[in-house]
Amino acid sequence: MPQPVRRRRSDDRIVELSGYLAISEITLSATILVINSGSSSLKFSVYAAEANSLTTLFTGAAEGIGKSEGQLTIEDGGGAQVFHEAARHGTQNDAFDHASAELERLGHRRPAAIGHRIVHGGPHLREHTAISAEVLRALTEAIHFAPLHLPTELEMIRVTQQRYPGVPQFACFDTAFHRTMPAVVVTYALPLRYREAGVQRYGFHGLSYESIVRALAPDIPARLVVAHLGSGASLCALQNGRSVDTSMGMTPTGGIPMGTRSGDLDPGVVLFIARSWNLSTGDLESMLNHESGLAGLANGTSDMRTLTAAAANGDRDAALAIDIFARSIGKTVASYAAVLNGLDMLVFTGGIGEHSPEVRARACAPLAFLGIELDPEKNSRSGADTQGVISARKALCPVRILAADEDGQIARHVLSMMNASGVAARLK
């Protein structure tokens, strides 16, 4: 089994080249490039790979893709910024061209393998796999399951295949972790013809949840709830480290309200809106995914830091948005305690989960009956110097903050698949 990803210290096997910090070519000769593409961002990481271990060399992100303002930032394995530039990228392709050019200037030429985060593989791709022509066909056929994500992810696969011909590429699915959910969870109360076509609960953020399980190993609580809270947000109930329920459904639009996504709705609401405003399915899809959630409640504002500041200054819409968000989190945690027959630990992760004491406090306030009680000081410091523990000493159920490591999880899966297929022999 691949060992935990290590972050290389900034002074470890690094030499100064032309004003940039560059890893030696010996180290970079066997690397794994991880691509995590979104609608307006492109995240990437580079790992030095040995037969059974990984070391972080670079992490970076291009943000604001397709917008009037954007930027590209790259950090080394020690977290030091080695490149930053305000830059406008019209497409994911533009962003990747820029990022790969800067990585080359930093010494990274050609990876030994590439791993892609794929949000949804449809009903037929539920395990991480090497990318082949057959896999690409199956992903293309599954676009209607995730029309906001899969086209961008497929384009990035094509772009990297063109830039790095012959380099093995792998797809890692956010849905794979949730294959362990039972039929009573994944089955919708719909006619058989729809269920046979793949209409079911799939669940997402699986790579994030998997990384939390790994971070807690070997002492994984038997009854664990993880709240991944960011612009996309979901919760997962885990029994002995395995997913048994999750809030997102067939698509990442379902579950609790999110930054710009509605979360679960009475289906009659969607029908009423479609009829009353004469909206097409495309119009509905755009409204539910880009104009709803926190943004819909707070006049277009979805950033939790902005909302928290506005609520503190008396903005009622912002306050209501935070209340609805936090209440939905608390309700879901309580329902999962029923699913698990109790609760041994609650973990917060994701951008909001890790950095919003206000949301954590409000979500946990009504959960005292589960033994949950936060320490206000620890919560305000985000668990600093307490290994992420923010619960009160007397609390019966510990509450922790842990950082998700989706890219590291992808790299581990890629290395494992390479080892299994014999491709990793080049890494020795």
Q: How many CB atoms within 10 Å of residue 77?
A: 24
Environment class of 260 (CB within 10 Å of its CB; exposed 0-12, middle 13-18, buried 19+): buried
d(CA 425, CA 428): 6
Asked whether 149 and 69 are in contact (CB, 8 A), the reply is no
- Residues 32-67: b if buried by 16+ CB within 10 A, e if exposed: bbbbbbbebbbbbbbbbbeeebbbbbbbbbbbbbee
Dihedral of alpha carbons 317, 318, 319, 325, sign: positive
Q: Is there a catalytic annotation at residue 174? A: yes
Asked whether 48 and 129 are in contact (CB, 8 A), the reply is no
Closest by Cα among 303, 271, 156, 211 to 4: 211
Structure tokens at 422: 């014999």
d(CA 200, CA 182): 12
d(CA 390, CA 380): 9
d(CA 324, CA 258): 10
Asked whether 40 and 65 are in contact (CB, 8 A), the reply is yes
Structure tokens at 165: 């011909």
Catalytic residue among 12, 76, 174, 315: 174
Asked whether 329 and 363 are in contact (CB, 8 A), the reply is yes
> Could you give the residue numbers annotated as active site?
174
